[in-house]
Amino acid sequence: MNFIETRGNDGVKAKEVSFSEAILSPSASFGGLYVPKSLPKLEDDFLQNHINSSYKELAYDILKAFDIDIDESEIKKALDLYDNFDDASNPCPVVKIENDLFVHEQYHGPTRAFKDMALQPFGSILSSIAKSKDEKYLILAATSGDTGPAALNTFKNKDNIQVACLYPSGGTSDVQRLQMVTEDGANLKVIGIKGNFDDAQTALKRLLASNTFKDELEKDGIKLSAANSVNFGRIIFQIIYHFWSYIQLLKQNEITFGEKIYLVVPSGNFGNVLGGFYALNMGVPIEKLLVASNENNILTQWINTGIYDIRGKELQLTKSPAMDILKSSNIERVIYSLYGAKRTKELMESLNENLFFEMTQEETKELQKYFSAVNSDDEYGINIIKKYIDKDYIMDPHTATCLKAYETLKEKELKTVMYSTAEWTKFSPTVLNAISQNNEKYDDKTALENISKTCNVKIPDSISELFNSKILHDEVVEKEKIESKIIEFISK
């Protein structure tokens, strides 16, 4: 299967590229993104045939349906990394918490967040391609909290790979920050920036498109790629677990074949819910994708009105920081799927230049066939966390936003799967606020130990060990110095 560009072709880049080419060089013409030329259709018999499959078997067959140009042995080697999750046979369990509500727990990997589901195998495949081509790559990662730790973990000490990870100083939880700044791989560089995630992501996209930066890398024989979900190598693995959601409900006898379900996804950069959109179009019986946002409610505004407007908007720092985003990259791929390359280029250029675009009423109605959206605030999230702790289920603040969508957006009495994108351990001060019903500021270590004792839950060793690890990356720089710091790193 070949990949094409969301904003059309500039006459310089190839009109179509292979999967390996798209993930090695993810920046497309006019600043666009790569998407599959078409999606494979996997109807009921595919789901029925995988009712007893392992996650790895399901993943292998979905990747095979995409006909990607990666050697089978490398695909299987990448998928074997799921064996390192808490339960190799079920790396992302689907757990019932209400009669019609299930939590898809995506945080059972090495960094305790959903980014491991995609970045573990993606990192293995990208590294193997680079090695087979005898090429060296700099992987850029911009993070709102979870992409960074997962990218650093998967690429650590990999041959032919260096990683530069950008995170907003003060914009992540302490655990997320420690997961990054204590990483000891010789090929890793972590840079805090004085700004927010949008600033980090803008810097990443600018560098990916900068010929000057690429020329500087070429002096050291290094090519450029990215670990963010601008890279379809991430997205392809984010499609798989939506199939798993449906199959698990079938396996638990909660639904029958063909019965539709709702998916609720807490959304920031829109990659997770994009995977659900692709799964729906590939044949999973999904009634609708329900998008949950926090006080940075730009996605709610877009889906409900067709207007994407960030003029004069200031990013709100919330207790669900991975969703503190105003410019969501992956809406571009949805826009392309629904309206084509010409319209995508118009809308995205308007957003980049004017910080605003407005779709037509017809376009908005088409979007709303697939998505509904709602946002909530920190107070709502804390109340939800407390409600479910009292029911012996602990969730993090991002997961808690999903309940607002579950409570308000469902139009039919259908079973619902909501996505838990991070373990509570990554946001323990907020969880302790919910338990204690106060607004005190707790440090992560105190909060973790308190919750562990109060709720009788174990803190994973990978989390507790962070507090005794040496900080190796302590630089925090102005946005303007990002490029020079990265060049300094690769020149060593």
Question: Residue 140 — pLDDT band, cuts 50, 70, 90?
Answer: very high
Taking only the tens place, the pLDDT of each residue in 310-349 is: 999 999 999 999 899 999 999 999 999 999 999 999 999 9
Are the C-beta atoms of residues 204 and 228 closer than 8 Å to each other? yes
Query: Is 44's pLDDT higher than 80?
Result: no
Domain locations in the chain? Answer: 80-112+233-467
Give the mean pLDDT of 16-40: 96
For residues 208 and 227, is the Cβ–Cβ distance under 8 A? no
Burial class (CB in 10 A: 0-12, 13-18, 19+), 215: exposed
Q: Domain 80-112+233-467 belongs to what topology?
A: Rossmann fold (3.40.50)
In the predicted model, is pLDDT for residue 229 greater than 80? Answer: yes
pLDDT band at 107 (very low <50, low <70, confident <90, very high): very high
Per-residue pLDDT tens digits for 156-204: 999 999 999 999 999 899 999 999 999 999 999 999 999 998 899 899 9
Quick one: pLDDT at residue 492?
Answer: 74
* pLDDT band for position 359 (cuts 50, 70, 90): very high
Q: ∠ at Cα 219 (216, 225), nearest 5°?
A: 60
Please determine, for residue 491, whether its predicted confidence score (pLDDT) is greater than 90. no
Strand-pair category, 356-358 with 307-309: antiparallel
SS3 category, 12: coil
Q: What percent of the chain has pLDDT over 90?
A: 95
- Residue 121's pLDDT band, with cuts at 50, 70 and 90, is very high
Count of beta carbons in the 10 Å neighbourhood of residue 292: 29
The tens digit of pLDDT for each residue in 298-310 reads: 999 999 999 999 9
Contacts for 391-394 with beta carbons within 8 Å, 24 or more apart? Answer: 391/97, 393/95, 393/97, 393/103, 394/424, 394/431, 394/451, 394/455, 394/457
Rounded Cα–Cα distance for residues 290 and 182 (Å): 36
Contact by Cβ (8 Å): 183, 152: yes
Q: What is the pLDDT of residue 144?
A: 87
The predicted structure's pLDDT at residue 255 = 98
What pLDDT sits at residue 43?
78
